[in-house]
Structure formats: C-alpha cells, structure tokens
Structure 1
Amino acid sequence: MELSKNEIERQDRQRALRGKRVKSISLWLIGVAVTAAAVYGLVLWSKKDSANKPGIVIAELGSDHIPDGQRVGEYNSNPPTSGPHYAQPADWGVYEQPLLDERLVHNLEHGGIWLSYRDADDTALTAQLRDIADDYTLKVIMTPRPENDARIAVAAWGRLLKLESFDREQIEDFIGAFINRGPEQTPY
C-alpha cells in the first residue's frame, strides 16, 4: 500500500516533532544535571572552606530582638555566638567589667568579634588581648566573662575559638576570617 503525499508529509512532521521533543527533554535533563552538580560542588566547597577556617561552627539560633533586661537563659555555646539579643549593641572597645551576653550577641550580628577571658585578675593575659583589641577601632569588643569554660574565647556570628593559652596568631587569624561577616552588615 502506497502512502499519499499528505500522509508522508504528516509522518515526516511527526518524526521531526518527536525528534524536537527528544532533543528538548535531553537538553532539559542535561541542564538539571549540570545545575545539580554545580550546587553539590558549591556545598562541598563551602564545607571545605569552612573547615579550613579557625574555630568551630556553632549552629545559629536566629537573631530575634528581645526587650532590654530580659535574659535568654542558655544559648547553645559558651559564650554565645547567635540567638536572641537586645536591640542595641554595645559600643566597640575594651571593657574591664563583664557585659550581658544578650547585648554582645548583637555586636556579633553586626560582624563583630568578641574577645572574652575568664579571669579578670589575669593581668598578663588581659594585656595581651588588649594589645590585639587596640588594633581595631571598630568591630572588636573585649570583656572579662567569668562564665567562660575556657581561659580565652573568641566569638563571631556562628563561630567560636576557645584557647587555654594565649596564641596571637590563632586569634588574629580568627579575627581576619570573621570580622565583618555577620548577617547584618553595618559600617559601625
């Protein structure tokens, strides 16, 4: 049985349409595969990048503001690196008295670094930390914090370095890696 010219043209159009569909689906699948590979690569890269930085990652507890005077109770790290905090941060600089965690967490949210030390009577350590803090007019705050479970704690938003002995290089590496890296970018 011989096909009519119209039937042959119709079959040719159907074959061409099927070919276009196959090509379209193939390109779409390739696009999905490339996108998935790129996302997977970025996740691996960010984990590797994070692993090469000083300190440990601390799960973020959000950034809700609470009324001044309200206390949070417990955070998920000591000292805290994120979580509920007061709406007003502390002024940058060196303090000789402890400040409330709820105030200082806001400084971390602004990309600040919090140098804290357990023993306010440790004058040698205080002088060493002050020497580092004095290099920064903004974004670094230093306080004693008797609640620390380490002699020295250096905190950034979602990141914490604990030391039992002074290590200027580690502290400066931490500051360099995390200063101005908080979720709220402010020039002050």
Structure 2
Amino acid sequence: MTPTQPPSKRTSGNPATQADINLTVKQQREQKREQKLAEYQKQLAKRRRSKLAWWIGGGMAAIIVIAVVVASFAFAPKPAVTYGALDSTGVDIEGVETFENTSEHVEGAVDYEQSPPAGGPHNAVWLNCGIYTEQVPNENAVHALEHGAVWVTYDASAVSDADLATLRGELPSSYVVLSPYEGLPSPIVLSAWNHQLQLDSVSDARVGEFFEEYWRSQDAPEPNAVCTGGVDGPGRQ
C-alpha cells in the first residue's frame, strides 16, 4: 500500500494566479492572527474589568464594615456609671446631713422626720429599685434604703427633661430609685440610709461623691439584701 501523502500546497501553473493564491493565504493567516490577537485583548480587558470590579466591591464592603463598626461605637448606649460597693470611707461631703433613724417593720403610713425620709420605720416589703415617673410610697422606698440603695428625688416643676436626662446619666444600673417628689426643700435630694444631700443643680459634682460614699454602704442596716423581688410603685419604667 502506498503511504498517504500530505496534502500539497495549493498551486497554479499561472504565475499571476499563483501570486493571487499566495496573497489570499497570507491574508487569511493575517486575518486569523488579528482575530486571535483581538480575542486575547478582549479576554485581557475582561479580566482587568473583573479584577477592578473585585477591588471596588471589596473596598466598598470594607468601607461599609468600618462604617458599621464606627457607628456601633458612636451610637451605642452609654454604659451605666459604676461606683464602689460596700466600701464607704467616712469622707465628709459638704452639705450632707446625718441622722439617727432606727430600722423596724411597721404597717400603715409613717410620719417621717425628714422629707423625703432618709430612714426609719418602714413597710415589710421593699420598693423595687428603678426609674419611676410618679411619686412612690415612702414606707417601701425606705426599705430599699435599708438594703443600701440611694433614693434620688426631684422636683418635677424645677427639673427640666434635659436636666433629668443628665441626672439619669449619673446613676448606676442597680440599687438606685429615681422618682419625683412633692414639697422638696431643693430641686434635687439624694437620700441614703441616715444620710441626705440637697442640691440645686444636676451638674453638681457632689452627685457622684454621694454615690461613691453611700451607694450600697456597709453602714446600711442590710447592705447585702436584694433590691428586686419586692413591690413596684406607680410609674415604674
């Protein structure tokens, strides 16, 4: 069997025709080369666009993540102020009055020597610590003082909403009662067991000093007792 010969190049006996044939083959090759080059450039441009889109998308995602983190810090609620518990030092705070009230459980209303009261006979059930928008029963609030709470009372007609917000920012998250009180001798009165301070301004530095000294004081009759599980007063938030 005769071996198969590879196809021969297209030829023509006519020199002019042969020149045309050679030109046509050359043009076809050039056209194919240009097509391949164009396809390569197209793929290269596509990869560049994809890479650019990836970088832009990744950058935008990073910016969004950073913005979310920054916003979470910027708009996060301010943590409650904390004070030392059970570590009273006996420091003197200007304006603080000291009393010698006794502690005993009674029924019914009590005629207290101080207004608001800073200790004395009280109801057997304590007031749950927290924020109140209405005046709370003295007898239950005094029992909360017995447990080491600080009772913050204010004259609603003398303290603005902005001032009240500032005052709330100075309060710890527990063992504190905030409530309006009629007939106060000053716009704000801070009461702990047997200690009381009258203030004219919520910005007074003695607010923090009073809490540092008397909040959960070991001088209260029952400093380790709870301030929950008792009874709510009206207007509890």
Range into which the TM-score falls when normalised by the shorter chain: 0.5 to 0.7
Alignment of 1:25-64 (within 5 A): 50=90, 52-64=92-104
Structure 1 equivalent of residue 200 of structure 2: 164
Structure 1 equivalent of residue 164 of structure 2: 126
Distance 1:84 1:66 in 2: 6
Secondary structure class of the residue paired with 1:86 = coil
Q: What is the CA-CA distance between 1:83 and the residue it aligns to?
A: 0.5
Q: How many residues end up aligned between the 2 structures?
A: 135
Structure 1: gaps (5+ residues): 1-48
Q: Is the 8 A contact 1:58 1:77 kept in 2?
A: no
Distance 2:149 2:106 in 1: 19
Q: Deviations over 1:104-155 (max 9, x none)?
A: 111111111011101167312221222222xx22211100111211100000
Structure 2: gaps (5+ residues): 1-88, 227-237
Which residue among 84, 89, 93 is the counterpart of 2:130? 93
Structure 2 equivalent of residue 103 of structure 1: 140
Q: Deviations over 1:1-26 (max 9, x none)?
A: xxxxxxxxxxxxxxxxxxxxxxxxxx
RMSD: 1.9
Distance 2:173 2:202 in 1: 22
Larger Rg: 2
Distance 2:196 2:170 in 1: 17
Q: What is the CA-CA distance between 1:76 and the residue it aligns to?
A: 2.1
Matched, 1:138 2:178: no
Distance 1:56 1:172 in 2: 13
What is the identity percentage for the equivalent residue pairs of Structure 1 and Structure 2? 28
Structure 1 equivalent of residue 57 of structure 2: none
Q: What is the CA-CA distance between 1:187 and the residue it aligns to?
A: 4.9
Q: Which runs of 4+ in 1 moved over 6 A?
A: none
Q: Deviations over 1:91-112 (max 9, x none)?
A: 1111111101111111111111
Distance 1:53 1:151 in 2: 19
TM, length-normalised to structure 1: 0.65
Secondary structure class of the residue paired with 2:144 = helix
